[in-house]
Structure 1
Amino acid sequence: MKTADTEMNDNLRDEYDLTQLRVRKLGPGRKSFNGINVHLEPDVAELFPDSRSVNEALRFLIRVTRQVGPSQVSTP
């Protein structure tokens, strides 16, 4: 059995900026390096056209629960 060569030859130039490469994989398994991905159930997703509207609704909910107080908010 051959042993794997654990050393990698780095032939890239120092001026290459690999952080600017885009991720090519598409679909729900896609990686995003600029934020947090949250999966919405279909019934919830049809009420929100984009991430901005989801964030607005969540911020509103946060404001309301802070005004009411944690002792008066019921949990399901």
Structure 2
Amino acid sequence: MRKETENEFEDELRPEYDFSKMTGGVRGKYAERYKAGNNLVLLDPDVAQAFPTDESVNEALRLLMQIAQRQRTQHQ
């Protein structure tokens, strides 16, 4: 548990991490690429328990897509 201090923003970094010496960084350089390549979805706890891995979620959704496609073709 974190100690209560008078100064909430007290520096806890080690001395070797001197960010003032870091140069050349560009803020948000890969932000657009990151947003374009990620489709994150927050699962409810009960769903996450039933499908604990991304592979299991994808497999279940692909099966559901197949069933839906069959239903569409049967009713046309």
TM-score (norm 1): 0.48
- Structure richer in helix, relative to its length: 2
Higher normalized contact order (CA 8 Å, seq sep 6+, divided by chain length): 1
Larger Rg: 2
TM-score (norm 2): 0.48
